[in-house]
């Protein structure tokens, strides 16, 4: 009887140990196709987690927009259909307008991680959407307007957009419509190549990198400076899933995310320089607004986005309580001078 009892205790202890140290597994999807530089950055993060987390935590990538539609992914992670999503905050801006603090930012994730901005964004994600905001990846890259035909300017040097078939989306429509006065055609990223090919659109906003990956440079010949905005790509995790992870798993995920925030800033700046050199060599022409027209253009990109953020925040519980703090943490007015 004693031997049976001891054997039972040993078996129970072994079962408890196995349960206590069970490997956490996290399912994930990404918004863009694997060929795009931003997705490659996310997959690099996944590889780093899976290496550091052997026996503790692993991320299983299910795919991209072919697995779950890019605009459905934020709802899918909130509802627990998938555990983790890498996506622009602008894809769920209706539920969380505070993401515009990142869109209008002139800082990188490294700086907002240090000054408390990322912590505030995480807190807002948890409160409003039941999501853990793990990290702001691939920051420090801004947007340009890219056109098929040579852009024209009025007598005051302002960009003329009349007649321009401009592709828009949630990131830049406040700026394109409310300041430039453009009529935009909303299209997801995956449909832009065909739209350019057929002449449905002849201009688009896009980040400084990735144009070659998407092959849009086959149709676009001009880059308009200055650049504006910042990417708002981040990793969000279902909060119930996050809370269920072991402390060791959480630490690995957070540590690797913070390091990737730093690494991706450096990697994508290098990629931007390489892309610009390749585009210039292939005949891409850069044109720029100057003087007051340039200053007004940049100010409008920022202020129209902040106006949108404040207006949408006012319609939600909590109102604009965090508005001033978000501007303070995500924008350096001294650096903008």
**165 φ/ψ angles, rounded to the nearest 5 degrees:** -90, 90
User: How many whole angstroms separate alpha carbon 23 and alpha carbon 54?
Assistant: 8
- pTM > 0.75: yes
Q: What is the pLDDT of residue 198?
A: 96
Neighbours of 248 (CB within 10 A): 14
In 3D space, the residue among 220, 290, 218, 235 whose CA is nearest the CA of residue 83 turns out to be 235
Range 150-158 contact pairs with CB under 8 angstroms and sequence separation of 24 or more: 150/221, 150/222, 150/285, 150/287, 151/222, 151/224, 151/287, 153/289, 153/293, 156/292, 156/293, 157/289, 157/290, 157/291, 157/292, 157/293, 157/294, 158/289, 158/293, 158/296, 158/297
Residue 7 has pLDDT above 70, yes or no: no
- Between 14 and 99, whose confidence is greater? 99
Q: What is the pLDDT of residue 10?
A: 45
- Between 253 and 14, whose confidence is greater? 253
pLDDT, tens only, 26-64: 999 999 999 999 999 999 999 999 999 999 999 999 999
Rounded to a whole number of angstroms, the distance between the first and last alpha carbons of the chain is 83
**192 φ/ψ angles, rounded to the nearest 5 degrees:** -70, -40
pLDDT, tens only, 217-268: 999 999 999 999 999 999 999 999 999 999 999 999 999 999 999 999 999 9
Q: What is the pLDDT of residue 6?
A: 44
Domain annotation for the chain: domains and CATH numbers: 22-138+230-268 (3.40.190.170), 140-229+283-328 (3.40.190.170)
| Sign, CA torsion 72/180/175/156 | positive
Residue 326 has pLDDT above 50, yes or no: yes
User: How many whole angstroms separate alpha carbon 22 and alpha carbon 317?
Assistant: 39
CA dihedral 146, 150, 151, 152 (to 10 degrees): 180
């Amino acid at each position: 009887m004693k031997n049976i009892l001891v054997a039972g205790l040993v078996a129970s202890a072994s079962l408890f140990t196995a349960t206590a140290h069970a490997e956490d597994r996290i399912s994930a999807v990404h918004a863009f196709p694997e060929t795009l530089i931003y997705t490659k950055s996310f997959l690099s993060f996944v590889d780093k987690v899976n290496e550091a987390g052997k026996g503790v935590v692993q991320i299983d990538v299910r795919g991209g927009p072919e697995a779950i539609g890019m605009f459905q992914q934020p709802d899918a992670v909130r509802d627990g259909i998938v555990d983790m999503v890498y996506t622009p905050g602008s894809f769920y801006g209706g539920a969380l307008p505070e993401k515009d603090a990142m869109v209008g930012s002139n800082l990188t994730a490294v700086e907002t991680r240090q000054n408390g901005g990322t912590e505030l964004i995480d807190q807002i994600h948890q409160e409003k959407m039941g999501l853990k905001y793990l990290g702001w990846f691939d920051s420090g890259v801004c947007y340009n307007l890219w056109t098929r035909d040579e852009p024209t300017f009025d007598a005051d040097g302002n960009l003329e957009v009349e007649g321009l078939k401009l592709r828009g989306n949630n990131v830049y429509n406040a700026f394109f419509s409310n300041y430039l006065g453009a009529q935009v055609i909303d299209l997801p990223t995956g449909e832009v190549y065909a739209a350019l090919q057929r002449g449905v659109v002849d201009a688009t906003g896009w980040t400084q990198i990735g144009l070659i990956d998407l092959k849009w440079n086959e149709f676009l010949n001009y880059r308009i400076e200055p650049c504006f905005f910042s990417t708002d790509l981040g990793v969000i995790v279902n909060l119930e899933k996050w809370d269920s992870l072991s402390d060791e798993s959480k630490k690995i995920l957070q540590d690797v995310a913070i390091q990737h925030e730093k690494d991706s800033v450096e990697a994508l700046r290098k990629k931007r320089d390489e892309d610009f050199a390749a585009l210039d060599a292939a005949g891409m022409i850069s044109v720029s607004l100057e003087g007051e027209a340039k200053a007004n253009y940049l100010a409008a990109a920022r202020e129209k986005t902040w106006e949108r953020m404040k207006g949408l925040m006012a319609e939600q519980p909590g109102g604009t309580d965090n508005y001033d703090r978000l501007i303070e943490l995500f924008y350096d007015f001294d650096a903008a001078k």
